[in-house]
Amino acid sequence: MRDNPSFRQGIRDSILIFVAVAGFGTAYGVLAIEAGLTRVVAVLSSVIIVSGAAQFAMVGLLGAGAIPVLLAATGLGLRHLPMSATLADLIGPQPLLTRLRLAFILVDETFGMTLRAAGRGVDDLVAYKSAADLMLYSGFVGGTLIGARFGSSIDPEKVGVGVLFGLLFLGLSAPLIHRPRDWVVAVAAVVATLIATLTVPPAWQVTIAATAASIVGLLAGE
Amino acid sequence: MSDVLLIVGVAAITYTTRVVFLIRPRAVPGGLLGRFLNVFPLALFVAIATSSLAAPEGTPAVTPALAGALGGVIGGAAFRRSLWGVLAIGAGFFYLARALSG
């Protein structure tokens, strides 16, 4: 697969994601140790969950018990349902193992990159997403290792990792705006998110805001 | 519940939500749900960006991140919606605003 042009393009396009996700992984590693997880368990969580949002929620709610953690993971995970359906449509019929593998790292960042690649006419989206997934996974797990090992001597927020992440999604959304309806959806998403930050538990904010804005988009028609 | 069991539980929930429509080939619905899926990615990305840039501490606030958002919009307009244009101009505005605000 390494000789596949789409795979190589996926690697090149994901360099920024690698850096940003490594920063988030480092921040997670630091927080996980501070929350009481051992180094091995902190790294294990990144290896098998691969969801920065769910993992941050998990370490933030560890003291509250298992039920709030699992509820938060459910709230955060619901946004994967439409992403899963969209990806299935993009890649078409594929062997079961390929689909199971692509689902394992179905995260906002590489999903957005794959959607953007589809819009640019990249030939092999499976190879492209596999490359983006590889970059994200290695960055996230590697970052977690560093954060868990070096702890509070590291502060990823000093370089503004959170802001770079927000800008990444702003950049991924820009090419998706073509029609007046898309502007309606974008404005509705901004308003719904601001309202959600004031009224909804953190784990559900993005999912509920995105769902509400999508419904507004449906009502707005074409 | 031990930490490892909890992590396995979170992983199971997360993977289940990711694999639902990929487990069966060509399972994408049409009609109203299909149109919903068509607009959902844009709504999701804008919601994540808004959450990170307009409410970085959890509630809406005027911070250097908001200047980054403004820069990102300007970068997107100036460089024909290029991802790198959004990132470069947005990050520049953010770092400048952070330096000016001390």
Residue of A163, A215, A219 to mutate, testing the B interface (most B Cβ within 10 Å of its Cβ):
A163
Q: Which of B3, B35, B45 sits opposite A173 (nearest CB)?
A: B45
Cβ proximity of B44 and A109 under 8 Å: no
- Per-residue pLDDT tens digits for A16-70: 889 888 988 988 898 888 888 999 999 999 999 999 888 887 887 777 678 878 8
Write the DSSP string, A65-87.
-HHHHHHHHHHHHTTHHHHHHHH
- Per-residue pLDDT tens digits for A140-176: 999 999 999 987 676 766 767 778 878 888 987 887 8
Which residue do the tokens 């850096």 mark?
A: A19
State the average pLDDT over residues B46-67: 90
> For residues A134 and A145, what is the distance between their CA atoms, to the nearest angstrom?
16
Which chain A residue lies closest to B89 (C-alpha atoms)?
A167
Cβ proximity of A61 and B4 under 8 Å: no
Chain-centre distance for alpha carbon A111: 8
The string over A23-34, giving b where at least 16 C-beta atoms fall within 10 Å of a residue's C-beta and e elsewhere, is bbbbbbbbbbbe
ipTM: 0.84
> For residues A65 and A180, what is the distance between their CA atoms, to the nearest angstrom?
45
- Per-residue pLDDT tens digits for A100-110: 999 999 998 89
CB contact residues (below 8 A), chain B span 8-47, against chain A: 8-11, 13-23, 25-29, 32, 35-37, 39-47
User: Against a cut of 0.90, is the pTM above it?
Assistant: no
Predicted confidence (pLDDT) at residue A222 exceeds the cutoff of 70? no
Q: Copy the structure tokens of residue B29.
A: 């619905």
Residues contacting residue A89 through CB under 8 Å, at least 6 positions apart:
B28, B37
